[in-house]
Amino acid sequence: MDGHHVYLDGCVKKAPEKDAWFSCPGFLYGAGLFETIRVERGQPLFLEEHQDRLALSCQTLNWPPPSTSLAEAVALVIEANRVKEGRVRLNYFQGKEGFHLLITAEEGLPYREEDYHKGCRALILPWPRNQRSPLVKLKTMNYLENYWALQKVKEERAGEGLFLNLAGRWAEGTRSNIFMVKKDVLYTPQEDEGLLPGLMRRRVIRLALRLGLEVVEAPLEKGFLWTAEEAFLTSSLMEIWPLVEVDKRPIGRVTPGPLTRLLWEKYQEAKREGAGIF
């Protein structure tokens, strides 16, 4: 047989000569970045923040940023898929030659209204997050550890898996950042504890400060959570999700706490009014 051939799904096929997906570092090694963007009323939320983070990650990896107008491309994909309430995913990955940008959009969000009323049950994962990794602060397509952990969590009928770092302190969730409340003070692990500093995390901190709350970013020992009065998780898709149980141990009164509810309500209000807190 002439040319390059591969075995795929039961038969040998001739491969495309240039930049085939199976020869891309993005496919072979997860050499890519991604952003997940919430869509409401047909509009991507905080797109500029997602663009900035993607550009900063490219700079860290010494990659050229996407040359495409992301705002125009995202709008086209949302319109083509008729997404009103859903999500967009940007995938920017290394090809055999150059880089590729793949944007997808789908209707529907993974969290229901009842989830926020009930709160999240979470599990502590049995392996640590490496806070010393140079990639821990980047949202990369090399995501199998998180994906596999989340499948294990779902098997236990829980909503999220939580990582401790190598020192046994709190780091993050598989797809979220964690906050804890003690005596009306908001605590969250500091950035060098092994976490992706999420965009929603930053917005919640800004909102809390605007409301006159004290916010402490610090190393948090495992036992700190068991004495917290309430806790919650954040991400661009889940926004603010009350955390009511971890490893079958209750957090506070096993119901969404008052400060968590306040932040959620004020956040929704700020979004509706377009308030400049973000």
Mean pLDDT of all residues in the chain? 93
Q: Which fold has domain 113-273?
A: D-amino Acid Aminotransferase; Chain A, domain 2 (3.20.10)
Contacts of residue 73, Cβ cutoff 8 Å, sequence gap at least 6:
101, 103
Reported confidence tier of residue 9, pLDDT bands at 50, 70, 90? confident
User: What are 144-169's pLDDT values in tens digits?
Assistant: 999 999 999 999 999 999 999 999 99
Q: What is the pLDDT of residue 3?
A: 58
5-107 maps to which CATH number? 3.30.470.10
With a pLDDT cut of 70, the percent of the chain lying above it is 96
With a cut of 80, say whether residue 277 has pLDDT above it: no
Q: What is the pLDDT of residue 182?
A: 96
DSSP-assigned letter for residue 238: T
User: What are 15-48's pLDDT values in tens digits?
Assistant: 776 656 778 899 999 999 999 999 999 999 999 9
DSSP-assigned letter for residue 193: G
Domain boundaries, the chain: 5-107, 113-273
Please tell me the distance from the alpha carbon of residue 35 to that of residue 236, in angstroms, as a whole number: 10
User: What are 202-255's pLDDT values in tens digits?
Assistant: 999 999 999 999 999 999 999 999 999 999 999 999 999 999 999 999 999 889
CA 261 to chain centre: 21
Mean pLDDT, residues 62-88 taken together = 96
Please tell me the distance from the alpha carbon of residue 56 to that of residue 236, in angstroms, as a whole number: 18
Q: What is the pLDDT of residue 40?
A: 96
Please tell me the distance from the alpha carbon of residue 24 to that of residue 127, in angstroms, as a whole number: 30
With a pLDDT cut of 90, the percent of the chain lying above it is 86
